[in-house]
Structure 1
Amino acid sequence: MPRIAKKKINHQLAGTDWSPESELVGLEFELVTNEDVLLYPQYTIGLHAWFLDQVRSTDPELSAYLHDGESEKPFTISALDGELVSSGKQLKLFPNRTYRWYVTGLSGRVTTWLAQWMTNLPPEVNLRNAPLQIIACNVVFAPTTYAQLLNSQLEANIALQFLSPTSFRRKGHHLPLPVPVNVFHSYLRRWNDFAATPVDQDTFLAWVDEYVLITRHQIATVKVLAGKKGAVTGFTGAVEFGLAKEAYDKPEFCTMFSALGKLAPYCGTGHKTTFGLGQTRLGWSSQAVADVPNVESLLAKRIEELTDIFKGQRKRTGGDRAIEVASTWATILARREMGESLQVVAEDLQMPYETVKTYAKLARRALKVE
């Protein structure tokens, strides 16, 4: 494939106050290709891996933390925003169209690294031999701190747009609904991990459950791919949250409600936010309901269907291990059915090729049992 001629990357920092104390920031990358490009449906795995490789090549210690650190990841990445269409079993990108990709930092350590990285970016993002030239990098969510969010103007109503499918885990299943306690629990987990002023989770969430209301919404649900393995039923659209009048008896919680709403664009909502899910923006928009390319939706549905079959066969064993195996088998077999090589699947799942090959055989055998 011909390489794209290198050009100087445009950095947009005007109007930003990116101080060394900044703990939160959001970047937007503008990407282009000079010819038709085909991507596999789970390409966000490649974006995730490419970003972590950028960290590893410049700060191995931070890379190890992002791989093996605490459960809450101090960054998010989006899927590509732009004209992607299904082309057979792949996704097609068009030449000379701009595709936008978003990366955020949620801790001072990551935000400091992003500031340094931004001054010496590579010329392109390479997704499995699909080079996308970086033509610009813009600050879209201003550098700030958790304390500044907490001390900012109180907002009694918070409208949020969920641009990519968003879902929560509840009793071992996906919950594709913007239930206030789940939404704000999602933000509070990040806050309590990275802010210097943690909040008592049980007390605050009980207050949210009692006094935070959905004042309007426009949402739709869709099945999508979920990170490296499995599929998720998520929602997209817009939701507005407000406060009951009794909520103001706890002014400190009203302040936290407002701060968490402003945190949402930085940290995303729900799970799998480091693989493109849960992308969130402030404000109301009736256009926020997003379409998912057919090929991605079909693969997600097939993975979910196979996962249910394999879980059903493992009812007697039960437990998290059985669910994990069912999801892994389903992902491997569904992607193989879509024409992907087992070698590529093994690389994405970071599993030995022979193990993936064995799992594929076992999954096919299990289907014949059905």
Structure 2
Amino acid sequence: MAPRKRRPTQPPPSRHPWAADTELVGLVLELTANAPDSLYTQYTVGLHAWFLDQVRQTNPELSAYLHDGQSEKPFTLSRLDGDFLTSGKNLKLKPNTTYRWYITALYQPLTQWLAEWVDHLPDMIQLRRAVLNIRRWHIALAPTTYPHLSTPTPTHPQSLSLSFLTPTSFRRKGHHFPLPVPTNLFHSYLRRWNDFSDHPFNQTAFLDWVEENVVIQRHRLESMKVAAGKKGVVTGFTGAIALGLDSGASQHPEFSQLFHTLAQFAPYCGTGHKTPFGLGQTRLGWLSPETPALPSMETLLAERISELTQQFLAQRQRQGGSRAQDIAETWATILARREMGESLQAIADDLDMPYQTVKTYAKLARRAILNNDR
């Protein structure tokens, strides 16, 4: 395993809206649009790039660390929460409608950077041709620390609920696993906890306890495919789940405490993978089924990428290994987004690929589809 990149340090700011020792916080920005601008389907890639650039402008070392310097990402970014218009193959913003964008941080240097940033917010976010005005910000998840979050309490309820607002998925044997199995949930939370807190717990022992003692009491779940990150498709679940403890759980009170601590931690860290691209947004409690769904164009794009990926894989004589899958996903992502009306240059920018390479892949993908139709 490669050595972990040294984490940057940052002195506490002179002014901040929360204590200087804060390690976790969640914000929500309220945004509005002046015009019915088109919003490209994978705009979460643009939000991710915009946020990292905001950090880079004042703290390049921290930005580099957030981008690629650690095994776990110390932040989550949501999709835009609000009403969209659909027009042909595009999403459109509704003028004078409020959109909410959630940002969480679970790493002290980042929470302190956010404290200064909210004091000097830019006027707008530009996502290609779409402009969103930043009106105000609020605290969405209370500022806290890891020791405070893990403070023992005399009693705990025997059950708790978690709601998953956006598609949530785990990686398992090279595939997506779209089910909230308790060991997967708490493995996801504990990895992040152990990576960013100074109070790590034994992972194997705790997950064995979860396997034996945590039971699913009820659930309301729906699965869907969504294009997430720079390429490829994720099959995930949304909905809510209620978890309870078996009678034998009381034999290990320290694990019962950790079970409840990590549930409190879940809204800050998100669930599963690709949380910096809007997936795995999690809340404590059983939320109503009226939680807004993803715009349908995102689902359509995901389904098209998945369909094309399978076609390209079927055409390749050697389908084993990750290289064939990676090439098929790249071709499928480029062609599907091109079919949705995006320019090759915009796709190249999002994928961090040379324009000529994207152009070549688009031609090869079209040729493969034509050959398949003959």
What band does the TM-score fall into relative to the shorter chain? Answer: over 0.9
Q: Tell me which residue corresponds to 2:11.
A: none
Q: Tell me which residue corresponds to 2:39.
A: 39
SS in 1 for 2:19: coil
Q: Is the 8 A contact 1:89 1:295 kept in 2?
A: yes
Q: Tell me which residue corresponds to 1:3.
A: none
Distance apart, 1:44 and its partner CA? 0.5
- TM-score after normalising by structure 1: 0.92
Q: Tell me which residue corresponds to 2:266.
A: 264
Provide the C-alpha distance between the structure 1 equivalents of 2:192 and 2:40, rounded to a whole number of angstroms: 31
Q: Tell me which residue corresponds to 1:159.
A: 161
Over 3 Å counting, the alpha-carbon distance change for 1:75 and 1:140 in structure 2 is: same
Mapping of residues 1-370 of structure 1, within 5 Å:
18-151=18-151, 153=153, 154-287=156-289, 290-314=292-316, 316=318, 318-370=320-372
Code of the aligned partner of 1:53: D
Q: Is the 8 A contact 2:26 2:143 kept in 1?
A: yes
Provide the C-alpha distance between the structure 1 equivalents of 2:248 and 2:17, rounded to a whole number of angstroms: 37
Q: Is the 8 A contact 1:237 1:288 kept in 2?
A: no
Distance apart, 1:300 and its partner CA? 0.5
| CA-based RMSD | 1.5
Q: Is the 8 A contact 2:38 2:129 kept in 1?
A: no
Q: Deviations over 1:246-267 (max 9, x none)?
A: 0111111111111110011101
Deviates further, 54-63 or 203-212: 203-212
Provide the C-alpha distance between the structure 2 equivalents of 1:23 and 1:314, rounded to a whole number of angstroms: 48
Provide the C-alpha distance between the structure 1 equivalents of 2:80 and 2:29, rounded to a whole number of angstroms: 10
Provide the C-alpha distance between the structure 1 equivalents of 2:290 and 2:200, rounded to a whole number of angstroms: 32
Provide the C-alpha distance between the structure 1 equivalents of 2:341 and 2:96, rounded to a whole number of angstroms: 28
Provide the C-alpha distance between the structure 2 equivalents of 1:316 and 1:131, rounded to a whole number of angstroms: 45
Provide the C-alpha distance between the structure 1 equivalents of 2:95 and 2:17, rounded to a whole number of angstroms: 35
Code of the aligned partner of 1:25: V
Percent of aligned pairs sharing the same letter: 61
Q: How many residues of Structure 1 are paired with residues of Structure 2 in the alignment?
A: 355
Provide the C-alpha distance between the structure 2 equivalents of 1:113 and 1:152, rounded to a whole number of angstroms: 29
Provide the C-alpha distance between the structure 2 equivalents of 1:350 and 1:314, rounded to a whole number of angstroms: 25
Q: Deviations over 1:319-366 (max 9, x none)?
A: 222222221111001111111111000001111101111111222222
Provide the C-alpha distance between the structure 2 equivalents of 1:314 and 1:107, rounded to a whole number of angstroms: 44
Distance apart, 1:17 and its partner CA? 7.4
Provide the C-alpha distance between the structure 1 equivalents of 2:272 and 2:317, rounded to a whole number of angstroms: 28
Q: Is the 8 A contact 2:83 2:94 kept in 1?
A: yes
SS in 2 for 1:241: strand
Q: Tell me which residue corresponds to 1:11.
A: none
Over 3 Å counting, the alpha-carbon distance change for 1:80 and 1:248 in structure 2 is: same
Distance apart, 1:309 and its partner CA? 2.0
Provide the C-alpha distance between the structure 2 equivalents of 1:243 and 1:324, rounded to a whole number of angstroms: 41
Q: Is the 8 A contact 1:236 1:288 kept in 2?
A: no
Over 3 Å counting, the alpha-carbon distance change for 1:128 and 1:151 in structure 2 is: same
SS in 2 for 1:142: strand
Distance apart, 1:369 and its partner CA? 3.6
Distance apart, 1:315 and its partner CA? 5.9
- TM-score after normalising by structure 2: 0.91
Deviates further, 135-144 or 156-165: 156-165
Over 3 Å counting, the alpha-carbon distance change for 1:315 and 1:185 in structure 2 is: farther
